[in-house]
């Protein structure tokens, strides 16, 4: 049977004892003796002649069941003879089927044995593996410290190895760059020394991991060996029950005690797991077969064990239909451990039947799992193609020629997007996993190297920019306390404009110098604004006075004495000017005053030109130097235009040489000439006043 073949005991003959004598009522026939049909397979249990005891009984591979244990019911002493089922003829086809089933069962048992040593094996897959390549050295150290402090040391080996590899590569990059800079500045390689605080923190965390790991494995080895010795002692104790002369009930209680201690004995080295269990189970069978137990209670035990194994078979058949085959296979391993460790034997005539059912479900789950991995390999191959295309794109970007900051920033974003696509592409075949990961990291590192080279070339430019900005800060600080606002304000505005034209400076000092420059500028312009606010106060007061003065002028009446009225008007004009400037937005009040003055002059019986010049003199007081120059240019243009008009009119007189002096047309021309000459005289007088200023 498959079950028995799996449980063949290596060196099992060493553990056999001579069969004790029994009465005719309880004596066993050759068919009942567990090892009369064939000897142990040489491949599975090599035994030398010296190791084989002198006994007629030998253990067969087919008749050592896998996981059968006795039940806890305490039977009364009576053993009833049983017969071994006839052995069917094995054909070539059935041998192939048996081999396929055995392969499936062996894989389940091997995985179960692999995990028997460490109960936390499943936990290792629950700790997420982060993108260590994307993390900084500080972040890597923080993650390592967290793992060492919070997780079981046996569950984080892969995580720690990944962190260590990435940290060392990043540290070596910084080390090499620092050494290159040191040599470029004229240093000698012998004098080069480099250290980072984060390296010390990493060493502390990694040494803590190694210490905990060493302590764990020393403790584990000690515990496993102690558990092994305890289990071997229990086997010897179990063997001794066959020769004990005592009440059968006491013997059975002793047997149950051994079983309980076995269950609580703990894990043993995985290399010993199956062999030790097989030896133990063999002697469980011998105890059952040769002990004088009550047949009814024994059958009851067998019945209950059979029912429990039927439940396991039913659950295995359910798992064979489950969609999540990985979960099904893991639960199947637990079912096999229950079958082997927790459930006792069944009646011999049912052992092969129940085992074949369980084995068939096991084979079905095993085959589905194999198909799953075949199909998943196709998916992994497709993922590999996608990842290789991503790596090729990264390499293409790395070889590009980018000369400005914005181009590099765009490429950095593209690389980050490709990195995310790489991590989202899924797993690749295990055979190329490390190679693909190495190619990806190398492609990203080459891009980063090119990027770092570019930004290193900007370092000198940034230093030059820093020198220029420091010079502007010095100039701004020298001007910030100057009270000559008319002269200093244009200079400060130019300093600000020059600052904007200068490019980037090193980031670590950028904020500092900006604050220094801003404070100097703010200090000056705060003073300027304070001075303007004071001036605005005076202008507001002047505005109120002018409003009052304007109201009085609108009701002012002339005396009738032209000469006296002219002087009075001039005094009013002087008084208005003495009040001072008003806010720029209220300049219109001066225009209102001028209109009032114009109205007064119009009421006077004086020459129009004289009146015009007096009013013009009043307006000149409000002109600054730039406006005076503009006014001079305007008057010159005006005098030139009027002179040209006069010449044209005088030329036109030639057309009236034969006309009467009373001709209306001729009179009109003479009138226009006189009017233009008066206007020309007025404009010339205005120009003379401007020049006198």
3-state secondary structure of 88: coil
Average pLDDT on 530-549 reads: 78
The phi, psi pair for 471, rounded to 5°, reads -65, -40
pLDDT tens-place string over residues 70-87: 333 333 333 333 333 333
**Residue whose structure tokens are 């990043």:** 170
Q: How confident is the model at residue 67 (pLDDT cuts 50, 70, 90)?
A: very low
Judge whether residue 150 has pLDDT over 60: yes
Count of helices and strands (H, E) across the chain: 19, 0
Average pLDDT on 339-345 reads: 78
State the DSSP string of 428-464: --HHHHHHHHHHHHHHHHHHHHHHHHHHHHHHHHHHH
242 vs 448: which has the higher pLDDT: 448
Average pLDDT on 328-352 reads: 85
Nearest to 287 by CA among 331, 257, 307, 320: 257
At 110 the pLDDT is 63
At 396 the pLDDT is 92
At 317 the pLDDT is 92
Average pLDDT on 238-259 reads: 79
Average pLDDT on 307-316 reads: 93
Judge whether residue 390 has pLDDT over 90: yes
Q: Which of 20-24, 517-521, 623-627 has the lowest mean pLDDT?
A: 20-24
Average pLDDT on 424-448 reads: 86
pLDDT tens-place string over residues 609-620: 666 666 666 666
At 25 the pLDDT is 34
**Range among 183-197, 313-327, 526-540, 636-650 with highest mean pLDDT value:** 313-327
**Range among 184-198, 256-270, 592-606 with highest mean pLDDT value:** 256-270
Average pLDDT on 412-425 reads: 87
How many Cα atoms sit within 13 Å of 47 on the Cβ side?
Answer: 20
Q: Are 459 and 503 in contact (CB under 8 A)?
A: no
Average pLDDT on 115-128 reads: 54
Judge whether residue 217 has pLDDT over 90: no
351 vs 288: which has the higher pLDDT: 351
Radius of gyration from C-alpha coordinates of the chain: 55
At 258 the pLDDT is 87
Q: Alpha carbon of 108 to those of 99, 123, 367: distances in Å?
A: 14, 19, 12
At 309 the pLDDT is 92
Tokens of 690: 């401007």
pTM of the predicted model as reported, rounded to 2 decimal places? 0.41
Q: For the chain, give the mean pLDDT.
A: 75
Judge whether residue 199 has pLDDT over 80: yes
At 117 the pLDDT is 53
pLDDT tens-place string over residues 312-323: 999 999 998 888
Nearest to 654 by CA among 666, 637, 644, 639: 666
């Amino acid at each position: 049977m498959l079950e028995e073949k799996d449980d063949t005991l290596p060196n099992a003959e060493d553990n056999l004892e001579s069969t004790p004598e029994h009465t005719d009522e309880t004596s066993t026939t050759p068919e009942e003796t567990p090892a009369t049909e064939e000897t142990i397979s040489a491949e599975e249990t090599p035994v030398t002649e010296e190791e084989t005891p002198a006994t007629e009984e030998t253990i067969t591979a087919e008749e050592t069941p896998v996981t059968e244990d006795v039940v806890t019911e305490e039977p009364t002493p009576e053993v009833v003879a049983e017969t071994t089922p006839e052995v069917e003829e094995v054909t070539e086809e059935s041998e192939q089927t048996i081999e396929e089933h055995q392969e499936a069962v062996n894989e389940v048992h091997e995985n179960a044995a692999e995990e028997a040593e460490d109960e936390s094996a499943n936990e290792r897959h629950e700790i997420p593996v982060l993108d260590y390549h994307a993390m900084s050295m500080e972040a890597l150290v923080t993650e390592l410290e967290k793992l060492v402090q919070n997780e079981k040391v046996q569950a984080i080996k892969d995580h720690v190895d990944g962190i260590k590899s990435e940290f060392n590569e990043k540290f070596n990059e910084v080390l090499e760059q620092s050494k290159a800079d040191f040599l470029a500045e004229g240093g000698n390689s012998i004098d080069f020394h480099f250290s980072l605080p984060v390296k010390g923190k990493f060493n502390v965390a990694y040494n803590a991991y190694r210490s905990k790991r060493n302590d764990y494995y020393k403790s584990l080895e000690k515990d496993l060996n102690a558990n092994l010795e305890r289990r071997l002692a229990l086997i010897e104790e179990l063997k001794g029950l066959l020769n004990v002369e005592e009440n059968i009930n006491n013997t059975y209680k002793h047997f149950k005690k051994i079983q309980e201690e076995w269950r609580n004995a703990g894990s043993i080295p995985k290399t010993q797991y199956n062999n030790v269990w097989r030896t133990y189970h063999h002697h469980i069978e011998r105890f059952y077969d040769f002990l004088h137990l009550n047949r009814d209670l024994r059958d009851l035990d067998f019945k209950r064990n059979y029912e429990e194994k039927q439940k396991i078979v039913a659950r295995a058949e359910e798992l064979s239909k489950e969609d999540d085959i990985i979960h099904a296979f893991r639960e199947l391993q637990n079912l096999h451990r229950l079958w082997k460790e927790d459930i006792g034997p069944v009646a011999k005539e049912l052992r092969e039947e129940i085992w074949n059912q369980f084995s068939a479900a096991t084979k079905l789950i095993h085959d589905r799992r194999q198909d799953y991995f075949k199909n998943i390999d196709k998916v992994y191959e497709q993922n590999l193609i996608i990842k290789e295309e991503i790596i090729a794109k990264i390499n293409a970007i790395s070889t590009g020629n980018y000369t400005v900051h914005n181009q590099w920033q765009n490429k950095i974003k593209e690389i980050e997007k490709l990195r995310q696509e790489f991590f989202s592409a899924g797993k690749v075949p295990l055979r190329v996993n490390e190679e693909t990961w190495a190619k990806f990291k190398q492609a990203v590192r080459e891009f980063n190297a090119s990027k770092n080279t570019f930004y290193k070339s900007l370092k000198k430019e940034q230093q030059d920019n820093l020198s220029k900005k420091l010079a502007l800060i010095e100039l701004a600080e020298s001007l910030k306390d100057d009270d000559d606002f008319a002269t200093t304000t244009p200079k400060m505005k130019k300093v600000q404009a020059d600052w904007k034209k200068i490019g980037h400076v090193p980031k670590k000092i950028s904020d500092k110098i900006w604050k220094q420059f801003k404070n100097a500028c703010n200090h000056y312009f705060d003073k300027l604004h304070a001075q303007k606010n004071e001036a605005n106060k005076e202008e507001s007061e002047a505005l109120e006075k002018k409003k009052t003065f304007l109201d009085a002028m609108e009701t002012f009446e002339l005396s009738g004495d032209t000469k006296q009225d002219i002087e009075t008007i001039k005094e009013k004009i002087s008084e208005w000017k003495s009040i001072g400037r008003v806010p720029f937005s209220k300049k219109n009040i001066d225009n209102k005053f001028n209109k009032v003055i114009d109205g007064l002059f119009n009421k006077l019986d004086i020459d129009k030109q004289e009146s015009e010049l007096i009013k013009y003199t009043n307006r000149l007081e409000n002109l600054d130097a730039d406006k005076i120059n503009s006014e001079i240019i305007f008057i010159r243009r005006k005098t030139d235009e009027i002179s040209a008009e006069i010449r044209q009119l005088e030329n036109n007189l030639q057309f009236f040489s034969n006309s009467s002096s009373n001709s209306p047309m001729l009179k009109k021309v003479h009138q226009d000439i006189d009017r233009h000459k008066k206007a020309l005289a007025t404009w010339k007088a205005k120009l003379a006043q401007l020049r006198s200023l």
